[in-house]
Amino acid sequence: MRMMTACMVFLFLFNIMLYGQTLSPTPTPVSKIANTIIVAKSGGEYSKIQEAVDAATTGTVIIIFPGRYEEQVDICGKKNIALVGIGNNKVEIFGQNLKWDGIDYGGSTVFIYGNSSYITLQNLRIVNATSYPYAGVALAFCNAFNCKVVDCEIIGKGRDAVFLYGGKGYTSSANFYTTYIEGGSDVVSVESTGMFFDCYFYVNRPNEEVLYIMRANGDGVTVVNCYFDGVSGNHIANFNSNNDILYFYTNVLSETMTGYASTHGFEYRGYTPTIYYSNFAGDFNVDGTVKAKSINLEKTRWKDWAACAGQPSFVDESTWHPAMDDNMTYMHCTTDTKYLLFEIPYEAGTVLTRLRVKWQAEGKLDGIIMRLVKRNESAAGVSWTIVGKPQTYIDSKGVKQVRVTTYDFTDETMAENYLYSIEIESEKVTSGVKLFSVGAETSKRVY
């Protein structure tokens, strides 16, 4: 029995580290493998995350079971430890009345500092719920290096969600992957080195910036395949130094982020930083004066099918037509209940976890229905079946905004004898709908 339990914990950790999946939602007594710590509201080795961090040594994996943990977590001088939550952001580290004093980071919900390195945060929801203007930061780094944040939600209700400190001789570096980051004053303040891949930025106060970049020299700030959104009047970046460097590749902007259209949402404040970028996923053309620079980007977990002519594997009665406006290609439909199918190529071991669609209604109550469907190809005459529930997205106010919407469902492991497709159905009440792209996210990279 002890050997079986130990094997179960090993498999659990293997899945956590490689695929971000989990097994049981509640802890059980275990004879665990070396250098793991279990945190749970009850039944774990510790009931507080800070206690587990204090006990961690180099190489420790801290497994945190679901629940709200109302505490501050300080990670000081630790090397190569991981804090991994069970479930999809069901572990919340919640900070309340954590105020920014303008001097240090005592007001941070999670603070990584003191020459800590190779710290991983995964499947966590980190919140600083203090209101503006007195709020501290949700997640702060100071003299912390090669850190990684994966599949998390970082929320600063009143101020910065993330702060990478780089002043007074200090520096920090961290990479963020498939993470939702929401802030009030600045969503992210970067004074050193930060890289963001497939993240969703949201600014919850008007007339603010998503990225406040100061002293971002050296490796600079890299933003790839991200989506920028928020309340009206906001812009992407505010630069506060001539030495700032920004690499900005194939990102998507909501309409609320285009107030500074002449500079694509960048505010220079009198400085002349170096910016390398290609385009905004078709939303803008690149100014011919902008420098071109190639960069060795890490591959993402999204596989997109751009809505160009001939891309869909099936078009219902040719009622969806390829079109182009302002150099943006899309599929256009002005008829109700018409279908598009986008086939998902099979690859052994691939687990489908989420769908994404970029679309725009042309009138009030126009929209789309999105489904993940599959069909057994080894049997004749078998119809399509739906994975999960159909998701309907409509523009209830008729604002005609370009939207990027995601659809989560129970993980679906692709079977070799099945054909999988993303199905888009038109919902036309007033005028019609435009489809710019669809995509699937997997727990195994498909490139």
- Rounded Cα distance, 65 and 79, in Å: 22
Ranking 18-32, 114-128, 340-354 by mean pLDDT, the lowest is 18-32
Q: Read off the pLDDT of each residue in 10-32 and give the average, rounded to a whole number.
A: 40
- Identical fold for domains 2-205 and 302-442, yes or no, is no
| Bridge partners for 85 per DSSP | 64
Ranking 16-20, 46-50, 52-56, 192-196 by mean pLDDT, the lowest is 16-20
pLDDT tens digits, one per residue of 250-284: 677 666 665 443 345 676 666 777 777 654 433 33
| Bridge partners for 245 per DSSP | 274
114: how many CB neighbours lie within 10 A of its CB? 13
Alpha carbon 83 to chain centroid, angstroms: 18
DSSP symbols for 1-38: -HHHHHHHHHHHHHHHHHH-----SS-----PPTTEEE
> Is the Cβ–Cβ distance between 404 and 356 less than 8 Å?
yes
In the chain, the amino acid numbered 349 is G
Average pLDDT of the chain is 76
Selected residue with higher pLDDT from 397 and 362: 362
72: how many CB neighbours lie within 10 A of its CB? 19
Query: pLDDT value at position 311?
Result: 65
pLDDT tens digits, one per residue of 139-190: 999 889 999 998 899 998 877 889 888 766 678 899 998 888 988 877 888 8
- Rounded Cα distance, 227 and 245, in Å: 20
- Rounded Cα distance, 48 and 43, in Å: 12
- Rounded Cα distance, 219 and 97, in Å: 35
CA distances from 219 to 39, 120, 222, 225, 246 (A): 36, 20, 8, 18, 9
CA distances from 252 to 199, 226, 249, 281, 320 (A): 11, 6, 9, 6, 24
The yes-or-no verdict on residue 28 having pLDDT over 60 is no
pLDDT band at 292 (very low <50, low <70, confident <90, very high): very low
Burial of 63 (0-12, 13-18, 19+ CB in 10 A): buried
Burial of 215 (0-12, 13-18, 19+ CB in 10 A): middle
The yes-or-no verdict on residue 394 having pLDDT over 50 is yes
For residue 52, give every residue at least 6 positions away whose Cβ sits within 8 Å of its Cβ, in sequence order, or none: 37, 39, 45, 46, 62, 64
Total count of residues recorded for the chain: 447
> Domain 302-442, what architecture?
Sandwich (2.60)
DSSP assignment, residue 150? E
| Bridge partners for 438 per DSSP | 305, 357
pLDDT tens digits, one per residue of 178-214: 888 988 877 888 888 888 988 888 888 777 778 887 7
Ranking 86-100, 308-322, 344-358 by mean pLDDT, the lowest is 308-322
CA distances from 438 to 193, 418, 425 (A): 31, 20, 12
Residue 403 has phi, psi (to 5 degrees) of -125, 145
Pick the CATH number of 2-205 from 1.10.1740.10, 3.30.230.70, 2.60.40.10, 2.160.20.10: 2.160.20.10
The winner for highest mean pLDDT among 96-105, 201-210, 229-238, 430-439 is 430-439
The yes-or-no verdict on residue 31 having pLDDT over 80 is no
DSSP assignment, residue 354? E
Alpha carbon 340 to chain centroid, angstroms: 26
Structural element, H or E, at residue 53: helix 49-55
> Is the Cβ–Cβ distance between 331 and 312 less than 8 Å?
yes
* Domain boundaries defined on the chain: 2-205, 302-442
CA distances from 334 to 26, 48, 369, 425, 426 (A): 49, 55, 15, 12, 8
